[in-house]
Amino acid sequence: MKRTPKKKLRITAIVEQANTLKEDPQFEGKPKEPSMEHDVLRALRQLGHEVTVLPVFDSIEPMVEGIEKNPPDLVFNLAEQFANDRRHDKNLAGLLEMMDIPFTGTGSAGLMLCRDKALCKQLLATWNVRVPDFWVFPLGRPLKIPRRLKFPLVVKPAYGDGSEGISNASLVKDDVEMKERVAMIHERFSQDVIAEEYVEGREIYVGVLGNDRLTVLPPYEVRFGKAQEESGPVLATYRVKWNKQYREKWNIEFGFADVERKVWARIADACRRSYRILQLCDYARVDLRVTPDERVYILEANPNPDITQGEEMAESARKAGVPYKQFIQKIVTHALARQTSPT
């Protein structure tokens, strides 16, 4: 039996940013810098919902106690890690599932499938979704390089997020460079490494909304303006994503992608299929590359992506005719619609 939706909801937001909480325990003031937490909670309050905030750092007790003391109609899950380990995001979702608390975003199964980049690609390939060929180098094991992989390769942490551990040096051209990069990631990040074949082409990000019925949002693209120059970036590295001055130096821009209709049909189909296969919920972003001969390769899927106002996902929704507040409300509505009451 479906839960009966209400116009005004008691919503508890789970967040992880201790520094922001110290400035404003309930995210009600104006942030010093753009903040997804502030934007989402401001939108929820403007929509008329009653919103409280629960921080999650390295202990689950405050979260459990807070939810049990004041049971919400919905949890808006804005936490992507626990105890500084992103691999635990699935466990936070699993805890909410065991407590039978409705929450936004992908559940524990989908988070597990997407966090492990190798598992994600293996599953997609099994269902005939095109992905780059790859290999995993487990932490603490001898380095064995398969001959079937073709250079250049992109070498990165297997459980990373937000382009952590990705730089221009991640694009390796031979065995020597790859061994050096794998060793560095093993040492610095203490996790497995994935090396995948570099796909030359356009890098495009596609947001998807919904559950039973999916809405594929207008595509966003990163344009590498000076990629042909010596040492020019051709990957969405950490600095490309998070350093404005670096983007200006190399004339790198993020903007809406102009895609031919037949290519867009392939992209949209690949994104819908990936969304279903990976058990994504409510909203997500799929990252992909389109080669010069118009083949679509899925790079990865991002459950619970950045939904800061003005960033890719929110901008794509706006272009599709969904202003920011309504975009946040759609996430809430989708989350509630898929929840069932206890039996």
| Strand-strand pairing, 282-290 and 134-137 | unpaired
Measured CA to CA, the distance from residue 12 to residue 313 in angstroms comes to 22
The secondary structure element, H or E, covering residue 135 is strand 134-137
- pLDDT band with cut points at 50, 70 and 90 for residue 18: low
Instruction: Give the residue among 11, 93, 30, 29 at the shortest CA–CA distance from 56.
Output: 93
Instruction: Please give the pLDDT value at position 232.
Output: 74
Measured CA to CA, the distance from residue 85 to residue 343 in angstroms comes to 34
pLDDT for 98-147, tens place per residue? 999 999 999 999 999 999 999 999 999 999 999 999 999 999 898 888 88
> What does the mean pLDDT of the chain come to?
90
pLDDT for 196-240, tens place per residue? 999 999 999 999 999 999 999 999 999 998 766 666 789 999 999
DSSP letter for 290, please: E
- pLDDT band with cut points at 50, 70 and 90 for residue 32: low
Answering whether pTM is above 0.85, one says: yes
Instruction: Please give the pLDDT value at position 1.
Output: 43
Mean pLDDT of 257-282: 97
